[in-house]
Chain A
């Protein structure tokens, strides 16, 4: 399976990358990690006439705390997150999630931002960014634009990115020390896309949940922010009863489809279990 022919550019600056993107329009695709794009090109499902390789652009390879956010640049690789980048609950959550992404060699090359741009509904970073209320920063000819995570995912492999834009950075809010996070996913094999996953972040104060965020993945065309499930936790003492309540609610909030790997019923069932297990992790942490 050999890709269709294309012209290749490796610009040295974001500006020249944007210029190329604008002049070639729909024919052009950005190449960062390539771990999702290149296989689709091998199958000739994706046939960009122009590839714009951003790997040589300086200033994009960072994942650092800045003010109240973790700023993740376009060339931050999945593997960087296998060890904590920062202190605190967010720093502890990200390695737990990263371990589940594909396999080590893919993590060495694939990028965090690339996952968000690709928007596979079973992508761990997509569910995480949605759960945590991240912000996506887009670079265009006219400057930068920010999109909230909950406005980013529009469908299977479809995002709010506009023509001529590059996803240049994702910002995740740092969580205070009174926050606790949890993650759970279930896949058929090591490294597979999850059949369902849950990312949770909670703030507990005086024995009850005060704030909660629950993100679900693998259960439909895009990640789901289970806001009603999260709301169900507010005021509850942490424990199994609250987890079951939230799990039931979360299962009802998503709309998985049947496919060759699992029925909708199975995924709905499974996501409830993943929510419970993610909450158990959060409660115990």
Chain B
């Protein structure tokens, strides 16, 4: 019986289904409730700040004045002209975005703390903010940080004479400029932390809804000048993250500070309005793209101008460079791009800071390059799939013009597979018939690759001050024969406990239920980097596999002793260690022997450790959307959504499909629904879930998923990451489909979300709409 490749039921589920999960708010009973006073202005200075008069006993007010002697949040990037922006935990004077925490009240209940917040005496001297890229880049714009003149926090420039030459001589130059609207990842559980003080040890346990517990521990300890050994961080059950929960937020530092100072427990459970306003935002970008094409549709050169609105500060530890520089490095995507030039800038504005969100910049660059392909196809007279076929990388490994190594994948095969399933000629007939009836159907394609499972080399190449990347796995078998796997990754819904159990179970010849994966607790797990960037299956998976193999070696050596056989000939399967001559011993019995009869064995334990730090591996997919656009209302109905994806070896198909579906839903939301909207004065206008439009089951169609499996040497288990892919392809596929549907109106989608009013406005201004 092998487990990898089977859709076994998740080990995580029963407790969650019984309502017995432990999320951060569930451990906070008895803690003082903390609520934050948040800046009502986007830019300016705090004039005066005083605690409420007459606070009840036990209530605490804290501001920067009380928290003297702590550091600032200051992530570093040593390349790309990065400006080391500093973010105070609580500001002493200048405020930089609406929602920025400026003081806190702790009281017996959250309701009481909110009452007291209203009594805080605070005055501001407001200044004029800049909230959009154009305003921030004007020469006379107010400057957010002295260290970043011109409000540019980071800049990557790649000038290429080859590229200029390609454009000069190309028969076709196609351009596309577009805008991606600001997103909020909106996990169903908002942020939150509970800092508990242990008087017997002087340590603080911070339970928090985060994706990177070890990083948070290190970062907070450094920030508060406290011994790291006195801080334990636990990511318990976490209700989604999608990247928003990667950053070191000042609120968590305040909680730990309060716990240490007052020697008691404090909890902050973020509410949805805070999350929408003040957690982290993403994908607020504008791009201009140019492609030089040969007469036969071959792409000769690509030029990109990338602007990312990164908000008021730089998220720690990724820095605000993560969005603009990822677009900068990865624009060529899955295509053969012989010459490439680009300029990417991260622009500071008086808005909520940016953190990575599922796919990061890949949804935008895929939107850009896939639209460019369609435009070029129309200009040159090729079909959308033909022009892609002509330009997709089809021999591996392939080193991209920006130095990325594309490993074995199936870019062309995925496209061909999708095209075969679509029956495009039949669709075109149907489309024509529908048009004759005044109905508008469209088909859109998106081909992309997804960089996954990349370790420290990739982060180092960015010049990050803190280089994440490796994962360590500690494995041990108990005397009873169960395996405990301690990992530094930090899953929050991805089913990693189950998937890793499957890998380990196969290597050790036991059942997955016998593998307990321990994660999220810095006291109980090896140092690691958490779960983000589609890394855990690859990196923790590879390390788990290696650790299991090392443990298997120990088990075989022990079994060889017992069975008087050669270790190399021992097979571990079905819970038994079996020798070549058929004699066997149950693995559990063997484990008990090794522990309790160490006099009989050479080694005395069944514990091993392994680390993995790969360069990275690229999964790929082709998404296709068929939509119907109602030209009267601008409504887009998704008739069909197809994904053909290749993430190498799929450990658990059910879990893999769930990741794709969840990603596509967020991609559809990005394409059609969600946008964070600011007023010019920096106030957020989408502060409730009535205004920030997360899609429901009525808006998300069934997604058809087909898997290809290209096994690449770049990942030890053969598995590539795929958590972000769904979100990467959907905006492009949907936007291209809408553009195809509205071709009779000459409408092109160059802005997402493509909301009904925007679509309708495009139709009206085309002059051909009723």
Which residues of chain A have C-beta atoms less than 8 A from B110's C-beta? 2
Q: Which of A3, A5, A186, A260 contacts B633 (CB 8 A)?
A: A186
Looking at B118, B633, B688, the one whose CB has the most chain A CB atoms below 10 A away is: B633
Which residues of chain A have C-beta atoms less than 8 A from B755's C-beta? 188
Q: Which of A190, A260, A265, A269 contacts B699 (CB 8 A)?
A: A190
Which residues of chain A have C-beta atoms less than 8 A from B677's C-beta? 260
Which residues of chain B have C-beta atoms less than 8 A from A191's C-beta? 696, 698
Which residues of chain B have C-beta atoms less than 8 A from A261's C-beta? 691, 757
Supposing A189-B698, A189-B699, A270-B633 touch, asked if A262 and B115 sit within 8 A by C-beta, the answer is: no
Supposing A1-B273, A43-B273 touch, asked if A188 and B673 sit within 8 A by C-beta, the answer is: yes
Contact present for B760 and A269 (CB under 8 Å): yes
Q: B198 near A: Cβ within 8 Å? A: no
With both chains docked as a complex, state the minimum distance between the C-beta of A209 and any C-beta of chain B, in angstroms.
23
Contact present for B632 and A260 (CB under 8 Å): no
Q: B635 near A: Cβ within 8 Å? A: yes
Q: B565 near A: Cβ within 8 Å? A: no
With both chains docked as a complex, state the minimum distance between the C-beta of A281 and any C-beta of chain B, in angstroms.
15
As a 0/1 sequence over residues 548 to 579 of chain B, the CB contacts with chain A under 8 angstroms (1 = contact) are: 00000000000000000000000000000000
> Which residues of chain A in 260-285 are interfacial with respect to chain B, using CB atoms and an 8 Å cutoff?
260-263, 265-266, 269-270, 273
Contact present for A189 and B273 (CB under 8 Å): no
Q: Which of A4, A189, A195 contacts B673 (CB 8 A)?
A: A189
Supposing A1-B271, A43-B273, A186-B756 touch, asked if A260 and B685 sit within 8 A by C-beta, the answer is: yes
With both chains docked as a complex, state the minimum distance between the C-beta of A248 and any C-beta of chain B, in angstroms.
12
Q: B114 near A: Cβ within 8 Å? A: yes
Contact present for B111 and A266 (CB under 8 Å): no
The secondary structure that dominates the B interface is loop
With both chains docked as a complex, state the minimum distance between the C-beta of B296 and any C-beta of chain A, in angstroms.
43
Which residues of chain A have C-beta atoms less than 8 A from B272's C-beta? 1
Contact present for B273 and A188 (CB under 8 Å): no
Q: B686 near A: Cβ within 8 Å? A: yes
Q: Please, how many angstroms separate the alpha-carbon atoms of A186 and B690 in the complex?
A: 15
Q: Please, how many angstroms separate the alpha-carbon atoms of A2 and B118 in the complex?
A: 12
Supposing A186-B633, A195-B756 touch, asked if A2 and B111 sit within 8 A by C-beta, the answer is: yes
Q: B607 near A: Cβ within 8 Å? A: no
Number of B interface residues in the complex (CB < 8 A): 32
Number of A interface residues in the complex (CB < 8 A): 24
Q: Return the chain A residue nearest B675 by Cβ.
A: A260
Supposing A260-B685, A260-B686 touch, asked if A189 and B693 sit within 8 A by C-beta, the answer is: yes
Which residues of chain B have C-beta atoms less than 8 A from A4's C-beta? 115
Supposing A4-B115, A190-B698 touch, asked if A263 and B757 sit within 8 A by C-beta, the answer is: yes
With both chains docked as a complex, state the minimum distance between the C-beta of B108 and any C-beta of chain A, in angstroms.
12
Q: Please, how many angstroms separate the alpha-carbon atoms of A186 and B691 in the complex?
A: 16
As a 0/1 sequence over residues 23 to 54 of chain A, the CB contacts with chain B under 8 angstroms (1 = contact) are: 00000000000000000000110000000000
Contact present for A266 and B273 (CB under 8 Å): no
The secondary structure that dominates the A interface is loop
Q: Please, how many angstroms separate the alpha-carbon atoms of A269 and B631 in the complex?
A: 11
Q: Which of A44, A192, A193, A266 contacts B761 (CB 8 A)?
A: A266
Which residues of chain B have C-beta atoms less than 8 A from A186's C-beta? 633, 635, 756
With both chains docked as a complex, state the minimum distance between the C-beta of B440 and any C-beta of chain A, in angstroms.
15
Q: Which of A43, A188, A265, A266 contacts B693 (CB 8 A)?
A: A188
Contact present for B696 and A189 (CB under 8 Å): yes
With both chains docked as a complex, state the minimum distance between the C-beta of A100 and any C-beta of chain B, in angstroms.
12
With both chains docked as a complex, state the minimum distance between the C-beta of A195 and any C-beta of chain B, in angstroms.
7
Supposing A260-B691, A270-B633 touch, asked if A188 and B756 sit within 8 A by C-beta, the answer is: yes
With both chains docked as a complex, state the minimum distance between the C-beta of A110 and any C-beta of chain B, in angstroms.
15
With both chains docked as a complex, state the minimum distance between the C-beta of B678 and any C-beta of chain A, in angstroms.
10
With both chains docked as a complex, state the minimum distance between the C-beta of B674 and any C-beta of chain A, in angstroms.
11
Q: Please, how many angstroms separate the alpha-carbon atoms of A266 and B686 in the complex?
A: 20
Q: Please, how many angstroms separate the alpha-carbon atoms of A186 and B273 in the complex?
A: 26
As a 0/1 sequence over residues 249 to 261 of chain A, the CB contacts with chain B under 8 angstroms (1 = contact) are: 0000000000011
Q: Please, how many angstroms separate the alpha-carbon atoms of A2 and B673 in the complex?
A: 28
Q: B695 near A: Cβ within 8 Å? A: yes
Q: Please, how many angstroms separate the alpha-carbon atoms of A44 and B632 in the complex?
A: 39
Which residues of chain B have C-beta atoms less than 8 A from A5's C-beta? 111, 115
With both chains docked as a complex, state the minimum distance between the C-beta of B320 and any C-beta of chain A, in angstroms.
26
Q: Return the chain B residue nearest A190 by Cβ.
A: B698
With both chains docked as a complex, state the minimum distance between the C-beta of A239 and any C-beta of chain B, in angstroms.
17
> Which residues of chain A in 176-209 are interfacial with respect to chain B, using CB atoms and an 8 Å cutoff?
186, 188-193, 195
As a 0/1 sequence over residues 691 to 713 of chain B, the CB contacts with chain A under 8 angstroms (1 = contact) are: 10101111100000000000000
Which residues of chain B have C-beta atoms less than 8 A from A263's C-beta? 757, 761
Which residues of chain B have C-beta atoms less than 8 A from A195's C-beta? 756-757
Which residues of chain B have C-beta atoms less than 8 A from A266's C-beta? 634, 756-757, 760-761
Contact present for A3 and B698 (CB under 8 Å): no
Q: Return the chain A residue nearest B756 by Cβ.
A: A188
Which residues of chain A have C-beta atoms less than 8 A from B114's C-beta? 1-2, 44
With both chains docked as a complex, state the minimum distance between the C-beta of B351 and any C-beta of chain A, in angstroms.
15
With both chains docked as a complex, state the minimum distance between the C-beta of B752 and any C-beta of chain A, in angstroms.
15
Contact present for A3 and B635 (CB under 8 Å): no
As a 0/1 sequence over residues 259 to 292 of chain B, the CB contacts with chain A under 8 angstroms (1 = contact) are: 0000000000001110000000000000000000
With both chains docked as a complex, state the minimum distance between the C-beta of A266 and any C-beta of chain B, in angstroms.
4
> Which residues of chain A in 13-28 are interfacial with respect to chain B, using CB atoms and an 8 Å cutoff?
none
Looking at A193, A195, A262, the one whose CB has the most chain B CB atoms below 10 A away is: A262
Q: Please, how many angstroms separate the alpha-carbon atoms of A188 and B693 in the complex?
A: 8
Q: Please, how many angstroms separate the alpha-carbon atoms of A261 and B757 in the complex?
A: 8
Q: Please, how many angstroms separate the alpha-carbon atoms of A1 and B277 in the complex?
A: 14
Q: Please, how many angstroms separate the alpha-carbon atoms of A191 and B696 in the complex?
A: 9
Which residues of chain B have C-beta atoms less than 8 A from A269's C-beta? 760, 764
Which residues of chain A have C-beta atoms less than 8 A from B685's C-beta? 260
Q: Return the chain B residue nearest A43 by Cβ.
A: B273
Contact present for B633 and A190 (CB under 8 Å): no
Which residues of chain A have C-beta atoms less than 8 A from B673's C-beta? 188-189
Which residues of chain B have C-beta atoms less than 8 A from A44's C-beta? 114, 118
With both chains docked as a complex, state the minimum distance between the C-beta of B107 and any C-beta of chain A, in angstroms.
11
Which residues of chain A have C-beta atoms less than 8 A from B761's C-beta? 263, 265-266
With both chains docked as a complex, state the minimum distance between the C-beta of A215 and any C-beta of chain B, in angstroms.
19
Which residues of chain B have C-beta atoms less than 8 A from A273's C-beta? 632-633
Which residues of chain A have C-beta atoms less than 8 A from B764's C-beta? 269
Q: Return the chain A residue nearest B678 by Cβ.
A: A260
Q: Return the chain A residue nearest B761 by Cβ.
A: A266
Q: Return the chain B residue nearest A1 by Cβ.
A: B271
Q: Please, how many angstroms separate the alpha-carbon atoms of A262 and B114 in the complex?
A: 33
Q: Please, how many angstroms separate the alpha-carbon atoms of A188 and B271 in the complex?
A: 24
As a 0/1 sequence over residues 108 to 152 of chain A, the CB contacts with chain B under 8 angstroms (1 = contact) are: 000000000000000000000000000000000000000000000
Q: Please, how many angstroms separate the alpha-carbon atoms of A266 and B769 in the complex?
A: 13
With both chains docked as a complex, state the minimum distance between the C-beta of B109 and any C-beta of chain A, in angstroms.
8
> Which residues of chain B in 113-133 are interfacial with respect to chain A, using CB atoms and an 8 Å cutoff?
114-115, 118
Q: Please, how many angstroms separate the alpha-carbon atoms of A270 and B630 in the complex?
A: 12
Q: Return the chain A residue nearest B35 by Cβ.
A: A2
With both chains docked as a complex, state the minimum distance between the C-beta of A124 and any C-beta of chain B, in angstroms.
16
With both chains docked as a complex, state the minimum distance between the C-beta of A67 and any C-beta of chain B, in angstroms.
39
Contact present for B695 and A189 (CB under 8 Å): yes
Q: List 15 A-B contacts (CB under 8 A).
A: A1-B114, A5-B111, A44-B114, A188-B755, A188-B756, A189-B696, A189-B698, A192-B690, A195-B756, A261-B691, A261-B757, A263-B757, A266-B634, A266-B756, A266-B761
Chain B interfacial positions (CB closer than 8 Å to A): 109-111, 114-115, 118, 271-273, 632-635, 673, 677, 685-686, 688, 690-691, 693, 695-699, 755-757, 760-761, 764
The 9 closest A-B pairs by CB, nearest first: A190-B698, A2-B111, A266-B757, A262-B757, A273-B632, A1-B271, A260-B685, A260-B677, A186-B633
10 more A-B residue pairs beyond the given contacts A44-B114, A190-B698, with a C-beta to C-beta distance below 8 A: A2-B109, A5-B111, A43-B273, A44-B118, A186-B756, A189-B698, A189-B699, A190-B696, A260-B685, A260-B691
